[in-house]
Structure formats: structure tokens, C-alpha cells
Chain A
């Protein structure tokens, strides 16, 4: 996906609120990602300027936590749960279905920029396993067919 030019002014509010508060780096990065969908290099450099935290530290933190991304993601971010209950209830089949349907691997985005796939730690909806979250919505008791249907609906909704 093509990266758009990064409008750094969008960060003004976040930095004004959190830059003076010690220990806020993760919070700032979370807000930054909410704004841009990922952590652009330019934003990290600005955060470094405003907080006095070295870019090497910021990148160290950013690359430590799985939440942070350094590339833009698709319109729909599929987060497939890798928890124990999901594993026991064959989440592997769901993963395979998504890969087959979208032609992408874990961590990749479809060429049309619609879907990104990310395998994530337990989402805590174990009773509905296997489970995935797409953006803010959780989908449970998945079967390969149900998964295909969900993806199809989302694709159609996007068009």
C-alpha cells in the first residue's frame, strides 16, 4: 500500500497532553497509531523531539509490543485469536481459510488494501472459540464457511 504524506499536525493535541507526563510513551504511540493506522517514521521523530526520548528508545518500545505497526494496514484488520481454547477448537482451519480466501499470510495486507491479517494473543472470548476480531467487532464460533461469508460481506460492504 502506498503511504500517504503524514500530517504531523494531527499529533499536536496528543503531544500537548502527554509529552510532559513522564512514562507516557506507550500511550502516545497508541494515540499515534489510532491517528495514522500505524507509526510513521516522521511521527516517531516528532515524538522524539517533543519528549526528549531518543528514537532508538522509541523504536525499541514500538518493536517490543505486538500492538504497534510500522506499515499502514488494510481497511479491515483481521485479528485471529491464537488462544488455547481456539487452538483446541481448530483455529488452524480458520487461519487456513482466511489465507486461502485472501491470498495473504500472517502480517500481510491484500493488494487491494482491504484486508490485513494478524494472528494475535488470546482475545478472551474463549467460550466462542474459534474467534476473530475485525476492527472493533468480534466474531465467534467460526467455521470455514462462516468465515468465508463474513469476508465476503465485508468485501461487498467496502465496494
Chain B
């Protein structure tokens, strides 16, 4: 017991010394909703953090808290970082929105970046990626490659981002095959490999020969590999898990954004904004196209180029499931309509939970 006490005293001295000798110009801190080992959403954010460390070296120090549940613990985690001297804090889940705003009010000198939300303040910026751009492309690939004309979609939760992903996929598929069918299964989890695998199997058994997912684990792709059908990686390049089954993957690459924003803080040029970038800015990256014939790869690359040229997949004519018009021919949906989407496009064989 005595030695522990002595150790504690020594440690006290150590930390005191440590805080004096702080060399970094900025401490950038990250709050993750899942474990960094989910190989999905939080993993990709952490890859972004590591890129920041690599890029800035000793100038920037980073820290993170993982598996912080949305709810009462989130505010504490964010405030801890604000108190610990973090100059820039990334809160990487939608449910952190109100806690981020609350803490930001208390710490006007600290900059906050909240992912996927819609509330900003002078010191709170929001950022998100146009994942639906990638989904449009994989929808096109699916329609080209499917023999049964049916794809299965494993969805997590009915939030706008997931819904707009389903719609973009369907619009892409319909651009190739107007009669394309899409079956949607909601698994009510971001992450449960067993459940995701079961859902994939159910979809394949119902005739889907293309599986796509908006959940985080590699399980659906592994099932696709086993059953000899095809699919797409989510968040990370999952080719190692499904060498013959993955056509491509929609990769969330947060590194460019994180490096850019850290640089802006270092230069004193940081301003609050609502960033929403996609393939053009390199925030959404398509993994190498594999297991595909050349003409399909070319088509996918052409669509990529078209998007880089400023084209938006949600450009009319778009008809909603109930037959009403969402966008007239040539009219582009407004950003707000995409970010808050809660309706299906025509042709989807599912009822959106209301």
C-alpha cells in the first residue's frame, strides 16, 4: 500500500512536469460512438485521426475516447476534452449534437466539429459526406451485374442518411434497368455480425443476387462470398474478407477533412461551416473495382467523373413511392431535402417506417 502511495506522489510530480513540457501547438481530440475496432464507422474516423498525427508530427497531439454511448455520457466525454486543453474536438456521431452544442457554449475558445448533425454555432461546425454519390454508382453496377434483377439492402436505422442511400442506390439501378427490384431489411443495429449475416442469407434466399449494406460489419460480404453472389464494402475496403464477391466499396475517408481543419486552426483561419463533401473532394472514395467486366468498370468510372463534374444523383425526374413528384426533370433536389429525406423513390418494395 505504501509503495502505491509513493508511486502516486511520484506520478503527481510527473504529470506536473508533463504539463509544463507540452510541445504541441494544438491538441485535436476525437469522440467515437463505437470501438475503434469496429472496422466500420469509428474505425474510419480513427484512421483520419492517425492521418492527422502522421501529417503534423509533433505539432499536433491527438487523443480519443471510444465507445462513448450517445446519451448522458457523451456530454461528459466532450467536456473532459474541452477541459483537458483540446483546441479542436471532433464529435463523430449524430447523437452527440446537443451535448456538443451545450459544451461549446461553455467553452467559446474551443472549436468543435460535429459529424452528421445540423446545428452549428460560432465555434461549432458540422461536416458530413455525400455517401449517396457512391451509392448511386453501386446501384448502377448492381443493375448491370444482377441476373435476377433483385438486390438486397441491409439497412441499420431509418435515418435520413440511410434512406437517401437506399434511394440513390435505387435511382442508379433504375437508370440501367427501370424494372429493378430492391428488397430492404432493417436489422435495427449498426453492428451485429450474426444478425447481418442472417439478413444477408434471407435476402439471398428471396432471390437477391447482389447484397449491399448500410451496417458496419463485414459479415454480409462474407455471406455473399460463400453463396457465390456479390456485394459492396461499407465504410472500409473489405476486399480481404470477400476476394471474389466485392465489386467495390464506398470508403469514408475523413483524413483530408481532418487535416484541412487542423491546419486551419493552426493558421488561425478556422471558421464554422456546414461541410458536405463527396467524391469530388475525396471524402467519399470508391475502392478499386474488382470482379467486374471492363464495360461496367468504365460505366462506373464515367459516373464518378460525371459526379466530379458537379452532377448530383438526386436530379429529377424523381417520383416518390406514393406517385407524387419529388423533383421535375432536370431539377436538382435541395441539400436540405436530401439531408432530411424520409420518403422512398418509386419502385422500392418496402414501406418506410414512419
A and B bind: no
List B residues at the A interface (Cβ < 8 Å): none
